[in-house]
């Protein structure tokens, strides 16, 4: 977990990253929470539509189902999200099917997450785990 550990320790800037570590989500959660960060797990298998992504995202970050169900509402929810004292790590398992099946919606959703991760005062990290299109320009944390 060295790349993640560097973020949690403040030696690496938060952002959106590909992450190939095979640790179980509960072990990642333990590591993140031990560093006093919040953790959320977006289990997106086999999500391949924008609607499914938004539903699963709402569940992962624990927002009401009535948040609006569109990308604009997601932007607002993420802006108001409680990240705790240090920040929040979102582990997104299974992002590939969505990226393959609806490139435009995936790109829009990814843009929202990248914009949110750019807020350095309210730290937000997204780890995209699993295979996905090679042409998606996301740096690796490995």
Number of domains making up the chain? 1
Q: Is residue 22 part of a domain?
A: yes
pTM of the model: 0.94
Q: Please report whether residue 142 resides in a domain.
A: no
- What radius of gyration, in Å, describes the C-alpha atoms of the chain? 14
Helix axes 71-80, 103-117, angle to 10 degrees: 20
Residue 26 lies in a domain: yes
Tokens of 71: 């990308």
**Chain length of the chain:** 142
What six digits make up the tokens of 4? 């993640």
**Which domain covers residue 86, as residue numbers?**
2-129
Q: Please report, in tens digits, the pLDDT of each residue of the chain (142 residues total).
A: 579 999 999 999 999 999 999 999 999 999 999 999 999 999 998 888 999 999 899 999 988 766 767 888 889 889 888 898 899 999 999 999 999 999 999 999 999 999 999 988 899 999 999 899 989 999 999 8
Backbone angles phi, psi at 140, to 5 degrees: -90, 145
d(CA 39, CA 8): 11
CATH of the domain at 50: 3.30.370.10
Asked if residue 71 is part of any domain, the answer here is yes
């Amino acid at each position: 977990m060295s790349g993640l550990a560097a973020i949690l320790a403040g030696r690496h800037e938060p952002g959106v990253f590909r992450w190939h570590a095979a640790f179980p989500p509960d072990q990642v959660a333990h590591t993140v929470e031990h560093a006093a960060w919040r953790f959320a797990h977006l289990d997106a298998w086999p999500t391949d539509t924008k609607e499914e992504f938004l539903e699963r995202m709402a569940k992962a970050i624990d927002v009401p189902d009535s948040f609006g169900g569109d990308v604009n509402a997601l932007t607002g929810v993420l802006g108001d999200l409680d990240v705790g004292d240090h920040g929040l790590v979102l582990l997104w398992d299974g992002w590939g099917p969505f990226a393959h099946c609806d490139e435009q919606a995936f790109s829009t959703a990814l843009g929202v997450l990248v914009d949110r991760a750019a807020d350095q005062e309210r730290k937000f990290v997204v780890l995209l785990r699993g295979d996905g299109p090679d042409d998606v320009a996301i740096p690796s944390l490995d």
